[in-house]
Structure 1
Amino acid sequence: MVFCLIYAVVIFAATFFGAFVGLGGGVIIKPLLDLIGHDTIAVVNFISACAVFSMSITSTIKHIKAKTKIEFGIIIYLSIGAVAGGICGSKLFDYFLTLFNNSLLKSIQGLVLGILLVVSVIYVNTKNAKSFKLTRPVPIIIVGLTLGFIASFLGVGGGPINVAFLVLFFSMTVKEAAVYSVGTIFFSQLSKLITLGVTHTIPKFDVVTLIVAILCAALGGIVGAKMNKKVNEKVIQKIFTVIVTSVALVNFYNAIAGFIAR
Structure 2
Amino acid sequence: MIAVLYFCVIIFANTIGAVSGMGGGVLIKPIFDLIGAHSVEAISFYSTVAVFTMSVVSTTRQLKLGTKFDWKIVGWLSAGSVLGGILGNVTFERLLAFFSEAFYVQLLQIALTIATLIFAFLFVKYEFKTYMFTTVYAYLLCGMTLGFLASLLGIGGGPINVALLMLLFSFPIKDATVYSICIIFCSQLAKLVTIATMTGFERYDLSMLLAIIPAAVIGGLFGAQLSNLLTEKKVALVFQGVVFLVLMINLYNGWKILF
What CA distance in whole angstroms lies between the structure 1 residues aligned with 2:169 and 2:137? 14
Amino acid at match of 1:214: I
Partners of 2:115 and 2:88 in 1: CA distance: 18
Structure 1 residue 179: deviation in Å? 0.8
Encode CA deviations 1:16-60: one digit per residue, 9 max, x unaligned. Answer: 011111110111100000110000000000000001000000000
Q: Are residue 126 (structure 1) and residue 134 (structure 2) matched?
A: no
Q: Deviations for 1:210-251, whole angstroms, at most 9, x for unmatched residues?
A: 121011101111110011001101111111101111101111
- Cα deviation, 1:131-159, whole Å, max 9, x if unaligned, reads 11121111110010000000000011123
Looking at structure 1, the residues matched to 92 and 215 of structure 2 have their Cα atoms a distance apart, in angstroms, of 26
* Residue identity matched to 1:84: L
| Superposition TM-score, scaled by structure 2 size | 0.97
Give the partner amino acid of 2:124: V
Residue 106 of structure 2 aligns with an amino acid whose one-letter code is K
Cα drift, residue 130 of structure 1: 1.2
Give ranges in structure 1 of 5+ residues lacking alignment: none
- Partner Cα distance (2:98, 2:206) in 1: 29
- Structure 2 residue 103 is the aligned partner of structure 1 residue 103: yes
Distance 2:143 2:22 in 1: 16
Aligned length: 258
Counterparts of 1:203 and 1:259 in 2: how far apart (Å)? 31
Deviation track 1:190-219 (CA, whole Å, cap 9, x = no partner) reads 000000001124352233311210111011
Counterpart residue number, 2:215: 216
Name the structure 2 match of 1:85. Answer: 84
Partner amino acid, structure 2, of 1:110:
I
Q: Equivalent residue for 2:235?
A: 236
Aligned ranges 1:7-18 → 2 under 5 Å: 7-18=6-17
Aligned partners of 1:84 and 1:148 also within 8 Å:
yes
The 4+ residue runs of structure 1 with deviation greater than 6 A are none
SS of the equivalent of 2:130 reads coil
Contact 1:167–1:174 (CA under 8 A) maintained in structure 2 = yes
Q: Is the 8 A contact 1:19 1:225 kept in 2?
A: yes
Where does structure 2 lack aligned partners over 5 or more consecutive residues? none
Q: Partners in 1 of 2:174 and 2:158 — Cα distance?
A: 12
Distance 1:256 1:135 in 2: 41
User: Percent same amino acid at aligned positions?
Assistant: 38
Superposition map of 1:183-194 within 5 A: 183-194=182-193
Tell me the residue number matched to 1:135. Answer: 134
Contact 1:46/1:202 (<8 A) preserved? no
- Take 1:252 and 1:173, find their aligned partners in 2: how far apart are those partners? 29
SS of equivalent residue, structure 2 residue 126: coil
Question: Relative to structure 2, which stretch is displaced further, 175-184 or 186-195?
Answer: 175-184
Take 2:202 and 2:139, find their aligned partners in 1: how far apart are those partners? 33
The question of whether the paired residues in 2 share the 8 Å contact of 1:104 and 1:258 is answered with: no
Q: Could you tell me the TM-score, scaled by structure 1's length?
A: 0.96
Letter in 2 for 1:117: L
1:115 paired with 2:118, answer no
